[in-house]
Structures are given as C-alpha cells and as structure tokens.
Amino acid sequence: MTAQQAHRRFLTLIALRWLPVGLMIPVIVLLPLERGLTLAQYGSAAALQGLTVLLLELPTGGLSDALGRRPVLLMAGAVDIAALTLLTVADSVALFVVFYVLQGVYRALDSGPLEAWYVDHALAADGKADIETGLSRSGAVLGVAIAAGALITGGLVALGPVGPITALSLPVYVALTLQIVSMVAVATLMTEERRGRGLAALAASVRGVPAAVGGALRLLRRSRVIVALVAVEVFWGFGMVTFESLTPVRLADVLGDPTEASALMGPVGSAAWLASAAGAALIPLLARRIGAPWTGFTLRILQGLTVVGMAVFAGPVGVVAAFLICYTVHGAASPVHNGLLHRQVDGPYRASLLSLNSMVGQPAGALGLVVLTAVATHVNLVAALLLGAAVLAVAAPLYLVGRRAAPDTVATAPQEVVPAP
C-alpha cells in the first residue's frame, strides 16, 4: 500500500467514525435531562466513561500494538453498537451508568489504532512522508463529518417526534445505523498483515500487551517533552467540558428554553465543526512560521479566552460567536499536539503512547464533568465556565518545554521485541 492509498483510506474511515459522534453531540447532555436525570446526575454518570478509559486505555493500546490495529477497531465498533442500542431505551441513572461504562470501553479500544495504522503505513511506504499534513487533513475531515452529523440532528430535532421516538432520541437511532456502516468499512478498508490465527495467536498477542505498555511508560520516563505533552492533555481534558458539555446548557440558560436550545445546537454545532475543520486545515501555515511549540502555546491561551467569552456574553449571539471561535482553535490544536507527540517516538509502541496520552485526558475530563457540573449547580454556570477557561490557559507554557529540541529528535523505543504470534 502506498502512502497516498493509506492517506485516502485513513480519511474515509475518519469520516465514517466521527459522523455518528456529530449526530450525538447536540443531544448527549439534553437527552438524559429529558429522561429524568439532573445535571449533576448526568455529570456523575458521564464521568464513569473517563474512569473506565483510565483503567483500560493502556492495556487496549498495548493490545493494538501486539494484536493489530484492525481487530481492535472491530472490537471497538461492536462495543459502541451495544452502547448505542442501550441508549435507545435508557431512562434511569443505572442504565446511563452502564451506557457510559460501555462508552469508556469503546473509547479505550478506539483511541489510537486508526491513527497509528495510518502513520505506520505512511512511514513504511515513505520514510519522509508528511504525516503532519495528513493529520491536519484528518482533523479537517473529522470536523466536516461532525458538522454534517450535527446539522442532521438539528433537522431531526426540529421535525419533532416520530411515533413513540422523541425528537431528542431520534438521532440515537440514526447514529446506531451509521456506526454499523463504519464497522463494515473498517473490516473492508483497513488492511494489515495478519499476525497469526487461532487461540494460540491470540494468547501470544495478549502476552505481548505488558511489553507494549511497559515500552510506552519507559518512553514517558525518558522524555521530558512527552511528559509535558501528556500534562497538556490533562488540562485540556478538564477544560474541554466547558464547550463540549456545558454549551447547550449555557444556550438554554440565555434563551430560557431547553427545546429551543437543543434545536439551535444542531446548526450551531454543525458550524462549529466546520470552523474546527478550517482551523485544522489552516494551522500548518502558522506552525511553519512560528514553530509547533509556540503554535500550541498560542492556541491554548486563545481557547481559554474564547471560553471566557462564552461565560461573559449575555445574549445567544455572543455565546454562539465565542463557541465558534473556540472550536476553530480546538480543530487547529489537535493536529499540532498529535504531530508533536508522533515525532517523539520511533519504535513499536506508537499506539500505546497515543493511548497513554488519551488515558490521562479521559479521567481529566471525568473530573471536569464532576467538578464543573457541581460548580454550575451549587454556584452558577458562569463560574464553572470561567474555571474551565483558566484550566485550559494554564497548560500553555508546557508546549514550550520542547522548543529547543531538534525537529527530528525522538525518544527511541526500548529495544524489546513484542512476542509475535
């Protein structure tokens, strides 16, 4: 497979993976509230997703390095189908708890294998492949896919209920269907050399997981740049709650009508992810001019300021404008962060390192959900947004840790062989 073929397949699978997410984003907070949960109950249940990822992220990343990217992504798709099926009927705190635990398993399995598959194939075909541009384009495709999903959800909610299915529940059924399509696409397009067959091969791959996990942890210990990047993810994960989860609540607050806010979040969410796509597409121009570390620093400060804008603007126009700028910055920041991370590793533990990065972000997001929803409940929503903004901005100096490192300096993985089937 050529680098160009890997790139095209990667972008196709990215689009199919994130389209169902776009459908869910406008309703994922308001749906539990419609079904009887309080905001604090939602936050506590959703936090279990991050805690589940914390437990499973590194082992599943190691499984991807040992067993293969494709089988792990197929397992992830099956778990997400089960979770979305449950969400169609969830109407209690207990059922939402199970849903978010399943989502945590899905996110742990899904985190890293596809991106690692692309980088592995691109660099194998061409050692000088421009993976940063590929990652930026994937960010643009991701944004467009989520925008399309959010726009569809806005239309579905505006059309109202269909029989016994409420307006807020209808996007869940569509997302479930699209997740099945995505799983079929992974099985069809994502090719890799098989590492063995049967139970003996599986057992050998499982035995390789501890070595993969240990390799990623040793990379962390050996590189202060990786430590800094992982620390950024902690602050980022906490602060993302402000614009990922609290924006619909903020709109409902300024509009005085949760249903109107839900309908508005469809087109607004769509526009936000188009803005994210634009940010991801344009950011290589800035990164080439001032360097990736300073670009990351600037984006973290700017994103904190946009969340402040969401908090202090009193009308829906101001809140929406700040939200759109926030997502432009968010889309630009992701390829910069991931490109810096990929350039720090040269060895067999790429997916494990990505999982390590994601692992710290998920529980940080869980903590953010608990803390910020509690602040919103017991103080006010504006205070919660301002706290999240401060946490986003405080991570900015961490990007400058590696500014003196040579561009091609990487932490080479320890020369251990993962047991092959």
**Residue 397 or residue 119, greater confidence:** 397
pLDDT of residue 6: 83
Euclidean distance between CA atoms 103 and 18, whole angstroms: 14
Q: Which of 377, 415, 342, 355 is nearest to 136 (CA)?
A: 342
> Could you report the per-residue pLDDT of 190-205, keeping only the tens digit for each?
887 765 554 555 565 5
> Could you report the per-residue pLDDT of 253-299, keeping only the tens digit for each?
888 877 778 778 768 877 887 898 888 888 887 887 888 888 889 99
**Percent with pLDDT over 90 in the chain:** 29
pLDDT of residue 416: 33
Instruction: Give the chain's length.
Output: 421
Average pLDDT taken over every residue of the chain? 82
**CATH code, 124:** 1.20.1250.20
Instruction: Give the angle subtended at the CA of 99 by the CAs of 93 and 101, to the nearest 5°.
Output: 105
pTM, to two decimals = 0.70
**100: Cβ contacts below 8 Å, ≥ 6 apart:** 45, 46, 47, 48, 49, 52
Largest CA distance in the chain: 62
Dihedral of alpha carbons 163, 167, 173, 177, sign? positive
Euclidean distance between CA atoms 134 and 123, whole angstroms: 12
- 417 is a domain residue: no
**Are residues 385 and 311 in contact, defined by beta-carbon separation less than 8 angstroms?**
yes
Mean pLDDT score, 50-72: 78
**139: Cβ contacts below 8 Å, ≥ 6 apart:** 276, 277, 279, 280, 281, 331, 332, 334, 335
CA-based radius of gyration for the chain: 21
Euclidean distance between CA atoms 340 and 353, whole angstroms: 12
Which pair of tokens denotes residue 68? 């293969």
Mean pLDDT score, 31-38: 89
Euclidean distance between CA atoms 197 and 219, whole angstroms: 30
Q: Which of 305, 189, 303 is nearest to 240 (CA)?
A: 303
Which pair of tokens denotes residue 390? 């401060």
Q: Which residues pair with 411 in a beta bridge?
A: 345
**386: Cβ contacts below 8 Å, ≥ 6 apart:** 307, 308, 311
pLDDT of residue 238: 93
pLDDT of residue 314: 77
Instruction: Specify burial of residue 259 (Cβ count, 10 A radius: 0-12, 13-18, 19+).
Output: middle
CB atoms within 10 A of CB 120: 16
- 171 is a domain residue: yes
In the chain, the number of structural domains is: 1
Asked whether the predicted pLDDT for residue 231 surpasses 60, the reply is yes
Instruction: Specify burial of residue 51 (Cβ count, 10 A radius: 0-12, 13-18, 19+).
Output: middle
Range of the domain at 57: 3-412
Mean pLDDT score, 194-223: 61
Q: Which of 174, 143, 148, 188 is nearest to 13 (CA)?
A: 188
Q: Which of 245, 251, 242, 271 is nearest to 154 (CA)?
A: 271
pLDDT band at 347 (very low <50, low <70, confident <90, very high): low
Q: Quickly list H helices, 25-112.
A: 30-34, 39-67, 69-87, 93-110
Euclidean distance between CA atoms 275 and 292, whole angstroms: 20
**Residue 401 or residue 218, greater confidence:** 401
- 191 is a domain residue: yes
**Residue 383 or residue 115, greater confidence:** 383
> Could you report the per-residue pLDDT of 131-190, keeping only the tens digit for each?
777 778 888 888 888 888 888 887 888 887 888 888 889 999 999 999 999 999 999 998
- 303 is a domain residue: yes
pLDDT band at 5 (very low <50, low <70, confident <90, very high): confident
Asked whether the predicted pLDDT for residue 25 surpasses 90, the reply is no
Which pair of tokens denotes residue 243? 């614009």
Asked whether the predicted pLDDT for residue 122 surpasses 90, the reply is no
pLDDT of residue 192: 75
Q: Give one DSSP letter per residue of 288-350, joined into a string.
A: HHH-HHHHHHHHHHHHHHHHHHHHH--SHHHHHHHHHHHHHHHHHHHHHHHHHHHTTEESTTH
Euclidean distance between CA atoms 51 and 54, whole angstroms: 5
